[in-house]
Amino acid sequence: MSNMILRLPAVKTRTGLSRSTIYLRVAAGNFPKPISLGARAVGWVDAEVEAWLAGQIELSRRTQGERLRAPEVR
């Protein structure tokens, strides 16, 4: 497990999400929570962000596959 800490610009670059979307998803429990690095600084654990990305890829692939195998309409 990587102990590398990502700051917000790196998280935005890796995920393609905006700052507001990241924080909305954190609040909703749909994105890893940041850790405190000091009084006014936070960061995200690299391994948690990577796991979230892998989950998003898996979800996307599974959803695409279900759409392709839709039952025939007779």
> Residues 30-70: pLDDT tens digits?
999 999 999 999 999 999 999 999 999 999 988 777 766 65
CA distance 48 to 4: 10
The reported pLDDT for the residue numbered 62 is 86
The reported pLDDT for the residue numbered 4 is 97
How far is the first Cα of the chain from the last one, in angstroms, to the nearest whole number? 51
59 vs 20, 21, 36, 41, 63, CA distance in Å?
Answer: 22, 18, 29, 31, 6
**Do the beta carbons of residue 26 and residue 34 sit within 8 Å?**
yes
**Do the beta carbons of residue 32 and residue 48 sit within 8 Å?**
yes
pLDDT at 72 over 80: no
The reported pLDDT for the residue numbered 71 is 62
